[in-house]
Amino acid sequence: MGIALIWSLIVVLIRWITFKRRGAISYDSSDQTALYIRMLGDVRVRSRVGFETERRGSHPYLYVDFRILHSRPESVGPVSARKIRRLLSFQRYLHSSRFFRGVAPQNPLYILDDDYTGQAKCMLKKVGSWNFDIFLFDRLTNGNSLVSLTFHLFKHYGLIEIFHLDMVKLCRFLVMVQEDYHSQNPYHNAVHAADVTQAMHCYLKEPKLAKSLTSWDVLLGLLAATTHDLDHPGVNQHFLIKTNHYLATLYKNTSVLENHHWRSAVGLLRESGLFAHLPLEDRLGMERQLGSLILATDISRQNEYLLQFRTHLDREDLCLDDAGHRHFILQMALKCADICNPCRTWELSKQWSEKVTEEFFHQGDIEKKHKLDVSPLCDSQTQTIENIQMGFMTYVVEPLFVEWARFSDTRLSQTMLGYLALNKAGWRGMVQDQASSGDDTDPTLEETDSDILPQESREL
């Protein structure tokens, strides 16, 4: 099938879907005094995971008012259940199976302009570049970066031929995935998923991985990256728990969002029938591994994975002939891809920082409006983009990428660490500028950073 035909197919499929999205989240913590440390050290009892999917529009819980289900008298307070439910109503409420009922979209997408399509195709030739501008690519594809990029990568890796995939089913699956992200989310939307998928591609082609990973591994890595934040509501787990959201109940307050992303992905996989031709055992294995990858992106489990990674590196016992070890490396690669924003160029990194901060503050505004406790990092009156970024880079991003560079000591790893150091210096410089110009900024910020930052990190 020619490129032009594929693009036409994508466009036609997208025209069948409505474009009402909503949205926004992020890393979770509730301790004011040791925010990032706690974020890394959150230890929980975890429930066993099963294989129930959250089928689009068919899950019984989707029709239950989460305030009624398991509501606690003391938590009802001034919060209007209807209001919050409206804010958080997920995509599937809106277009559950509209696609299959053949209902015409309310806002049909106009056909892509040929010039833009040509430029987007041209950009895809450099999809493996770390400087790939996903924002530009998204504009050139008229908001279809996730579908276009992932489809391209499936072709690039030969996955369509290897797994005998039906091109139409693949396109339909990818369109459904893209549409289940909330475009109203400043950060957790389909562009973030496309960015993570692009980063994953960069990692998959690193020498150590490229020579060891099987096509099955590559397929899973790309699928996990593409779906890892599916149907993200734009608020964090802490918010869902304190408002007694049905998902928090369903997943016993444990990796609530990640479980939802996974089950949503499995639901779409089954609905699309993309792998219906594979043996049941393989499909179940794929769903299980997909879950294991997506659940690894729970930032509250960062310490657990980081310690395991460090131990393997210290012992030099990672053997990528071993399927279990390859899976672990895929988990680490996905974790890196998910939080690699501070390792991009300043221009790209700054845009992501602004988006995630907007999403945090939006959550804080909802909490204030409904007289709930404002979650850490979400209060626009006490937090700044600079201090949020400095803390995130120091306590979450840097430790992970330092270990990744130990595992994969390549030019890309050094480039990422280089940008990380530059970006950190950039934010620090902005804090200093504000302080010297008499702005009302937190004077302890720089002191905190230099006091707590590990020695090796300071030397970056």
What does the alpha-carbon distance between residue 117 and residue 403 come to, in Å, rounded to a whole number? 39
Footprint of Zn ion on residues 43-102 (CB under 5 A)? none
Alpha helices in 370-454 (DSSP H): 385-392, 398-407, 411-436, 445-452
Q: Which is nearer to Zn ion, 338 or 398 (CB)?
A: 338
- Contact criterion met (CB below 8 Å) for 428 and 390: yes
- Contact criterion met (CB below 8 Å) for 246 and 61: yes
Q: Which is nearer to Zn ion, 24 or 153 (CB)?
A: 24
Q: What is the DSSP letter of 62?
A: G
Applying CB under 5 A, does 229 fall inside the site for Zn ion? Answer: yes
| 325 counts as catalytic | no
Matching residue, tokens 């599937």: 92
Matching residue, tokens 């840097």: 398
Footprint of Zn ion on residues 403-432 (CB under 5 A)? none
Shortest distance, position 198 Cβ to Zn ion, whole Å: 13
Residue 436: how many CB atoms within 10 A of its CB? 8
- CA trace torsion 121, 156, 338, 133 (10° rounding): -20
Applying CB under 5 A, does 338 fall inside the site for Zn ion? Answer: yes
What does the alpha-carbon distance between residue 253 and residue 298 come to, in Å, rounded to a whole number? 12
* Binding footprint of Zn ion, residue count (CB under 5 A): 2
> Is the alpha carbon torsion for 369, 373, 375, 376 positive or negative?
positive
Choose the catalytic residue: 59, 95, 188, 362.
188
Shortest distance, position 192 Cβ to Zn ion, whole Å: 6
- CA trace torsion 389, 235, 256, 258 (10° rounding): -60
Applying CB under 5 A, does 298 fall inside the site for Zn ion? Answer: no
Shortest distance, position 188 Cβ to Zn ion, whole Å: 6
Two tokens at 316?
A: 């030099």
Q: If we measure between CA atoms, which residue out of 391, 410, 276, 448 comes closest to residue 29?
A: 391
Stretch of residues binding Zn ion (CB under 5 A), selected from 37-45, 49-57, 336-344, 386-394: 336-344
Crossing angle for the helix pair 445-452 and 385-392, to the nearest 10 degrees: 0
Stretch of residues binding Zn ion (CB under 5 A), selected from 279-287, 302-310, 312-320, 331-339: 331-339
Shortest distance, position 72 Cβ to Zn ion, whole Å: 30
Applying CB under 5 A, does 258 fall inside the site for Zn ion? Answer: no
Shortest distance, position 178 Cβ to Zn ion, whole Å: 15
Q: Which is nearer to Zn ion, 147 or 200 (CB)?
A: 200
Shortest distance, position 187 Cβ to Zn ion, whole Å: 8
Applying CB under 5 A, does 359 fall inside the site for Zn ion? Answer: no
Q: Which is nearer to Zn ion, 300 or 441 (CB)?
A: 300
Q: Which is nearer to Zn ion, 27 or 275 (CB)?
A: 27
Q: If we measure between CA atoms, which residue out of 212, 419, 206, 400 comes closest to residue 319?
A: 212
Q: Which is nearer to Zn ion, 195 or 367 (CB)?
A: 195
Footprint of Zn ion on residues 383-402 (CB under 5 A)? none
Shortest distance, position 297 Cβ to Zn ion, whole Å: 6
Shortest distance, position 276 Cβ to Zn ion, whole Å: 28
Alpha-carbon Rg for the chain in angstroms? 22
Matching residue, tokens 């400087």: 131
Q: Which is nearer to Zn ion, 10 or 235 (CB)?
A: 235
- Contact criterion met (CB below 8 Å) for 25 and 236: yes
Shortest-Cβ-distance residue relative to Zn ion: 229
Q: Which is nearer to Zn ion, 172 or 201 (CB)?
A: 201
What burial letters (b/e) apply to 93-126, b meaning 16+ CB within 10 Å? eebbebbeeeeebeeebeebeeeebebbbebbee
Stretch of residues binding Zn ion (CB under 5 A), selected from 223-231, 303-311, 364-372, 414-422: 223-231
What does the alpha-carbon distance between residue 270 and residue 457 come to, in Å, rounded to a whole number? 44
Residues that bind Zn ion (CB under 5 A): 229, 338
Catalytic center residues: 188
